[in-house]
Structure 1
């Protein structure tokens, strides 16, 4: 069925390039192209659950250096913070990207929420209708460092989401593109749409105009084919059938990732990435797994089909690079993990799984605290969900603020679903964490997500097995992530290069270790005090890739 046709058509219509003769691959030679792939919400659990069935691109990556126990080690396991760690070598406490959004109560505009990839200084920008920008990222990406060392380096970032493309590409990238809607891929760079992107958008429009009858159910997905009720929705049996012109269904399906990979392959060909004297870098954000996980959960036919299609599409993508003779190194990881919906967990031997109490939602919590503090009817707290950062209203007097803080702490510390509530002062006084990320305390995880200028006055963390989406008669998303627990923190980290000797290291590493590991392969020096990560030796047995250059 779908969707190799789209990739084939797009690659066939890519602009021609001059024939290149790539340099031979040797252990000593730096790769000519770095391909950094983030699969949004591809947890370590999801990776291992389907590993025995891989036969395409994911299979290839399991033959390289495999770190199945990687960590997005911070507490705020969301898309923007996660992507900010992958190619910066830094945790959110250093990147400044503490969440998908945070509050700036000093902002002049009525909307006090700040989206991680917006420039709120632009006229008319809001957290919902924003001008996309990398201004909030406080540290350089690998591509930015490569370009600073050699201006000939080409840095390209392509994704299904703006925040993924921006956080991995950084402010000095040559081209940054993301899926902007039915019209196709857009950019914040303000450049005229080049012919390749116009062709991508044309191919996507033609594909979107066709119906998709759905995907066949792989044999390994058959046992998952049963309906689960969540609010007003039945999930768990989907095949991604789509009517012509249905962009929402296109976006929440394997079709989106297939188009993103086809775009990336065509960009590599058209720009001759990896076929010149310097090393180039392309980052690719594959967003469909996340959209599917939110919409259907992680353990139904929908995610099972998605992982199978992802394996196939990655295989086709790598085969295309092989045919072009490019000497490339791949790293694949994820921005965070994910938690399946509690209704299916309860059917599958986990009766303790629950949804968050509506009393912990920001509106209800504000009302309860205001009542207890003698400020009924006033806004005393700001927050955007039933977990995460909470901010005291700026209009409170010092005495009122003290009362609000005391009542909030008393209310939350007595709630059966709350694991911890930390004050800003407590987190700030905690040293930056070190050592194996699997052994960190909740406070250490919180510290890794903390920025003194952006974090809240309090940090609310729910207990494990509490889904932060409350019970609702009408459900939008049925499942989510964002917790400090390992189901959301653990992600695979996979490195592969032609002719490398593969190995598996099950001990915990961090996504911030990716940048120094790749930098070592290309001989790019990185001062240890500028990042949080460490170089991972990618040579099995004798030898050390971290000391090679």
Structure 2
């Protein structure tokens, strides 16, 4: 079967450079022969694979034969850390190209509660402007409003306005948090199409991409072929009312939801990214350029089917081919580029499959732990009517309707009840989180309070934070599209791979832990861009090349 990326590129790339044979045939990655240039790369390619845990990377690294295999010839950090507790998409993406943790980026969760928000819905989405009329956190106006710090692309533009910055992703929060505030092109999949901020003109490459994706979705998708290493995992598994585990991404014509949770979404994202690189001549100007690419399908697949099943194995195989085809396309255009690939967070397989795989301690969270159940009990005890606790993920807020004189009692009694529950690891107050400091020790040694502090902002975080015990999944009952998740402070959600590659780089692997906030200062050193005040540190990738830390 012809790789999806090659088919899409044939529609999106300009006729004079249609998808090269290298991208269609997916040859083995080239050996690094010539030494890496001592001059800065002309294009930085920053790839985030949503929910690509270090465990998933370890499971499949020996089976990669294309794009990932090429990246494995560079600098490999298998134990990168999203060191904070709120291991969600928005906070994780905010660290990758800012060099700062969520407590400084302002992106402490995917959503939070703002009881002063100027609308009936008080839940706020991380990448929205909640002041926009007629919006709520589901039907929102995409915005970079809540990102408090600049991205690497913004730093590049400040140093040299000739630098171009582009961001393309399968999610708006990925594109916005990696792209930042000052960006030349920003495009993301939303519901039925690739869109941007309201009023932005559609460049030809994106329109060609939209047209190609529309044709793709309008036609049915036949089941994808299964690589040999995936066949043992293609086992049907009954969970709730559905059977999963052996899906091959067959899709009925017009099924947008199935398209989103499939390798096809990543193929579309990379194809549009390639089209923008070509049309804008990124990597061919007088200043270095940057393109951020958010490959979001692995997260949708992980949530819908669990990262331990055949669907995720097939997704990994297809993503390997897609990345390989994309890099081969850049090679055919003779662009001097450097790649970094990482993830916004990890993930954990669904409870039921884990229980059958020698993990009987796996549990789904009890409804008794919910803020609704706890709030009702505390309200009844203290004689306070109405909802008294509001929740967004693990952050719990005391409702403004609670009389000020009773707030302390509500917090104390709620924490007392929650700490006594067998599925709860700890409950941390605002004061306890604020008092914790970020240590200089490796992130795997941090206390829960220190991990929580790294994703705490007093302006938006809750009155207290509930952290579940390891292997307690925060989904009460699995349903279609949502059987497994992430978001915990435990290392299976915090650890992600970090891979750097440039043609000629002397490859090595460093098994000791690093952080995703180290990426921005490392890339800055690659292009000789001075940066200060970041949380991350520069990683010396190749002492004989341009990207030497100073």
Change (3 A) 1:25 1:260: farther
Task: Pick the aligned partner of 2:169 from 159, 163, 170.
Answer: 159
Change (3 A) 1:471 1:28: same
Change (3 A) 1:149 1:15: farther
> Aligned partners of 1:446 and 1:456: how far apart in 2?
11
Asked if 1:492 corresponds to 2:503, the answer is no
> Aligned partners of 1:544 and 1:435: how far apart in 2?
28
> Aligned partners of 1:476 and 1:156: how far apart in 2?
30
Cα displacement string for residues 80-117 of structure 1 (whole angstroms, at most 9, x for unaligned residues): 00000000000000000000000001123110001000
TM-score by length of 2: 0.94
Structure-2 residue corresponding to 1:197: 206
Contact 1:538 1:544 in 2 (8 A): no
> Aligned partners of 2:267 and 2:11: how far apart in 1?
11
Task: Pick the aligned partner of 2:427 from 421, 431, 435.
Answer: 421
Structure-2 residue corresponding to 1:380: 388
> Aligned partners of 1:232 and 1:328: how far apart in 2?
47
Please report how far the alpha carbon of residue 457 of structure 1 lies from its aligned counterpart in structure 2 after TM superposition.
0.5
Identify the range of structure 1 (286-295 vs 354-363) with the bigger mean alpha-carbon deviation: 354-363
- The secondary structure found in structure 1 opposite 2:62 is helix
- The secondary structure found in structure 1 opposite 2:131 is coil
Please report how far the alpha carbon of residue 228 of structure 1 lies from its aligned counterpart in structure 2 after TM superposition.
1.9
Please report how far the alpha carbon of residue 39 of structure 1 lies from its aligned counterpart in structure 2 after TM superposition.
0.2
Contact 2:46 2:292 in 1 (8 A): yes
Contact 1:433 1:448 in 2 (8 A): no
Please report how far the alpha carbon of residue 14 of structure 1 lies from its aligned counterpart in structure 2 after TM superposition.
6.4
> Aligned partners of 2:547 and 2:443: how far apart in 1?
23
Asked if 1:3 corresponds to 2:4, the answer is yes
- The secondary structure found in structure 2 opposite 1:499 is coil
Identify the range of structure 1 (129-138 vs 361-370) with the bigger mean alpha-carbon deviation: 361-370
> Aligned partners of 1:122 and 1:11: how far apart in 2?
34
- The secondary structure found in structure 2 opposite 1:368 is helix
> Aligned partners of 1:39 and 1:547: how far apart in 2?
26
Task: Pick the aligned partner of 2:138 from 128, 131, 135.
Answer: 128
Structure-1 residue corresponding to 2:472: 466
- The secondary structure found in structure 2 opposite 1:264 is helix
Please report how far the alpha carbon of residue 16 of structure 1 lies from its aligned counterpart in structure 2 after TM superposition.
7.7
Structure-1 residue corresponding to 2:110: 100
Structure-2 residue corresponding to 1:28: 38
Contact 2:206 2:275 in 1 (8 A): no
> Aligned partners of 2:513 and 2:378: how far apart in 1?
40
Structure-2 residue corresponding to 1:534: 537
> Aligned partners of 1:12 and 1:398: how far apart in 2?
61
Contact 2:5 2:270 in 1 (8 A): no
Q: Specify every segment of 5 or more residues in structure 2 that has no aligned partner in the other structure, as ranges.
A: 19-33
Please report how far the alpha carbon of residue 234 of structure 1 lies from its aligned counterpart in structure 2 after TM superposition.
1.4
Change (3 A) 1:109 1:200: same
TM-score by length of 1: 0.94
Change (3 A) 1:393 1:14: farther
Structure-1 residue corresponding to 2:512: 507
Please report how far the alpha carbon of residue 365 of structure 1 lies from its aligned counterpart in structure 2 after TM superposition.
2.4
Change (3 A) 1:189 1:271: farther
- The secondary structure found in structure 2 opposite 1:383 is strand
> Aligned partners of 2:37 and 2:17: how far apart in 1?
31
Please report how far the alpha carbon of residue 5 of structure 1 lies from its aligned counterpart in structure 2 after TM superposition.
4.6
Contact 1:228 1:343 in 2 (8 A): no
Change (3 A) 1:191 1:4: closer
- The secondary structure found in structure 2 opposite 1:70 is strand
Asked if 1:138 corresponds to 2:148, the answer is yes
Task: Pick the aligned partner of 1:443 from 443, 449, 454.
Answer: 449
- The secondary structure found in structure 2 opposite 1:431 is coil
Asked if 1:363 corresponds to 2:334, the answer is no
Structure-1 residue corresponding to 2:358: 349
Task: Pick the aligned partner of 1:228 from 231, 237, 252.
Answer: 237
Cα displacement string for residues 137-159 of structure 1 (whole angstroms, at most 9, x for unaligned residues): 00000000000111011000000
Change (3 A) 1:360 1:476: farther
Please report how far the alpha carbon of residue 254 of structure 1 lies from its aligned counterpart in structure 2 after TM superposition.
0.3
Task: Pick the aligned partner of 2:522 from 494, 517, 521.
Answer: 517
Contact 2:118 2:131 in 1 (8 A): no
Please report how far the alpha carbon of residue 12 of structure 1 lies from its aligned counterpart in structure 2 after TM superposition.
3.9
Contact 2:523 2:547 in 1 (8 A): no
Structure-2 residue corresponding to 1:20: none
The residue correspondences of 1:316-331 to structure 2 (distance < 5 A) are 316-331=325-340
- The secondary structure found in structure 2 opposite 1:262 is helix
Task: Pick the aligned partner of 2:396 from 390, 397, 409.
Answer: 390
Task: Pick the aligned partner of 2:414 from 391, 408, 416.
Answer: 408
Number of equivalences: 534
> Aligned partners of 2:509 and 2:489: how far apart in 1?
25
- The secondary structure found in structure 1 opposite 2:209 is helix
Contact 2:261 2:301 in 1 (8 A): yes
Please report how far the alpha carbon of residue 25 of structure 1 lies from its aligned counterpart in structure 2 after TM superposition.
8.1
Structure-2 residue corresponding to 1:186: 195
Structure-2 residue corresponding to 1:272: 281
Change (3 A) 1:59 1:16: closer
Structure-2 residue corresponding to 1:47: 57
Change (3 A) 1:297 1:286: same
Please report how far the alpha carbon of residue 15 of structure 1 lies from its aligned counterpart in structure 2 after TM superposition.
8.4
RMSD (CA atoms): 1.7
Structure-2 residue corresponding to 1:244: 253
> Aligned partners of 1:4 and 1:520: how far apart in 2?
32
Contact 2:76 2:500 in 1 (8 A): yes
Contact 2:364 2:477 in 1 (8 A): yes
> Aligned partners of 1:146 and 1:152: how far apart in 2?
9
Change (3 A) 1:418 1:536: same
